[in-house]
Amino acid sequence: MPFLGKDWRSPGLSWTKTEQGWKSTVFYGHELEDNNREIDLTELCSDNKENLFVGDLCELTTTKRKKDFYNNNTKSQFIFSDKWIYVHRGSTKERHGYCTLGEALNRLDFSSAIQDLRRFNYVAKLFQLIARYQLRSLSGAAQKNYFNILEKIVRKVLEDHYNPRLVKELLQDLSMTLHNLTVHVGRSVLVGNINIWLCRLENIIKWQQQLNSLQIPKQMSNGMSFNDLPIYMQNHILYKFSDAYDIINLGKATPTLHILSEDPMLWKRLCHFHFSDKQFCRNLVLTTSDNVDWKLMYFTLQKHYPMKEQYGDTLHFCKHCSILLWKDCGHPCTANDPDSCLMPISPQHFIDLFKF
């Protein structure tokens, strides 16, 4: 017998309390227009727009466009903020189904994690890998939550000026992925209406423009600055850096820092930190005097091998009870020594946990 009613999995209607009782809320066309006055199809189809994906879609009606924009900007209703989740990879007698990447993205509290500087780079790198390889595997609710958190990441960078380069790379990878999916692969692989993805593409372009025009104000302080430190202390601080681009950018500040940033021993230490001796032998770079050019060596090895990842705080996986968690939040573990069962999870390992 066919099922003629509404899908039982739907969230149901929205109800408001009135003097006559509870009534369901219905959005009419004029209400959607009032909420979305800034959306104009002619503006989207303008030649001045940098978005290259809307040129072949101008035949979409304005009413449909506004409705999809309204649905896209409605925040996800079923997003949890758990500190830990159970990762079950298959069905058992006690539990049916399995945990997906989208479910983990929805339930783990990433919105609060990006406010912690120790976890910001970790979450941004995770979102970058999802943008590259796993965007199509996310459900509609997970995709909406993904872009909501991404908006918070961009807003934090604009407010705090923290690590804009990493977020620029994230947005660039996301833009390239959506370009390949919409132009080369086909729009049928995307979950949801194409108008929703057009809104997201417009937001990505807007975020990229905001980050490109970001100006970090000069810090005004009457106390001691970095340049007032002795040379050996400045050099010692440079040796604590693990990112080559941070060293190069710092070397552009003053002539003294430029000399320190070109120190061959500094680049040798950076090479040994990220790569193994076996990798050195395969890609040895020598100067005219048969000395190793460690700076060029670093960028040569970077093209062939992955670099060591370093984060202030990461997600951890409990091998005893298969729980994914932030370490300082704890979880209900039944092992005698719970800390010994915890294993740090890199962003790539996080994605691999949900490959079935």
Single pTM value for the model: 0.72
Task: Give the whole-number percent of the chain exceeding pLDDT 70.
Answer: 72
Sequence-separated contacts (24+) of 291-297 with Cβ below 8 Å:
292/264, 292/268, 293/264, 294/264, 294/265, 294/267, 294/268, 294/270, 295/262, 295/264, 295/267, 297/267, 297/271
pLDDT at position 97: 58
User: Is residue 334 predicted with pLDDT exceeding 90?
Assistant: no
Q: 189 versus 345: which is more confidently predicted? A: 345
Q: What are the contacts of 153-156 at 24+ separation with CB within 8 A?
A: 153/114, 153/120, 153/123, 153/124, 153/127, 154/207, 154/210, 154/211, 156/114, 156/115, 156/120
CA atoms within 13 A on the CB side of 197: 25
CA distance 257 to 229: 12
Nearest to 328 by CA among 36, 118, 102, 111: 118
State how far the alpha carbon of 206 is from the alpha carbons of 19, 76, 151, 176, 280, in Å. Answer: 44, 22, 11, 15, 42
| Mean predicted confidence (pLDDT) in 228-247 | 91
Q: Are 61 and 67 in contact (CB under 8 A)?
A: no
CB-side exposure of 227: number of CA atoms within 13 Å? 11
Average pLDDT over residues 38-55: 45
Distance between CA atoms of residues 339 and 241, nearest Å: 29
Mean of the per-residue pLDDT values of the chain: 78
Token representation of residue 46: 């303008």
Q: Give residue 239's identity as a one-letter amino acid code.
A: Y
- Please answer whether residues 312 and 117 qualify as being in contact, where contact means their C-beta atoms are separated by less than 8 angstroms: yes
The predicted pLDDT at position 47 comes to: 47
The Cα–Cα gap between 351 and 132 comes to 12
Beta-carbon contacts of 274 under 8 Å, excluding residues fewer than 6 positions away, are 242, 298, 301, 302, 307, 308
pLDDT confidence of residue 109: 86
Going through 169-260 in order, the beta strands assigned E by DSSP cover none
Q: Which residues contact 320 (CB under 8 A, 6 or more apart)?
A: 333, 334, 335, 338, 341
Please state, in angstroms and rounded to a whole number, the distance separating the CA atoms of residues 301 and 244: 12
Tell me the mean pLDDT in the region 303-316: 88
In the structure, what pLDDT confidence band is assigned to residue 337 with cuts at 50, 70 and 90? confident
**Integer Cα distance of 115 and 137 in angstroms:** 26
Contact 84, 337 (CB under 8 A): no
Of 93-97, 145-149, 199-203, give the lowest mean pLDDT range: 93-97
Place of tokens 């100067």: 287
**Integer angstrom CA distances of residue 25 from 6, 10, 12, 28, 112:** 17, 16, 11, 10, 32
Say how far apart CA 29 and CA 32 lie, in whole Å: 5
End-to-end CA distance of the chain: 34
Is 326 strand, coil or helix? Answer: strand
**For residue range 99-133, what is the model confidence (pLDDT) as tens digits?**
888 888 888 889 889 999 999 999 999 999 999 99
pLDDT digits (tens, 9 = 90+) for 55-111: 444 444 444 554 555 455 555 444 556 778 888 766 666 665 568 888 888 888 898
CA-atom Rg of the chain in angstroms: 25
Q: Quick check: 321 and 333 in contact, CB under 8 A?
A: yes
If DSSP codes are grouped into helix, strand and coil, which group holds residue 287? Answer: coil
Weakest-pLDDT range from 128-132, 183-187, 261-265: 183-187
Does the pLDDT of residue 180 top 90, yes or no? no
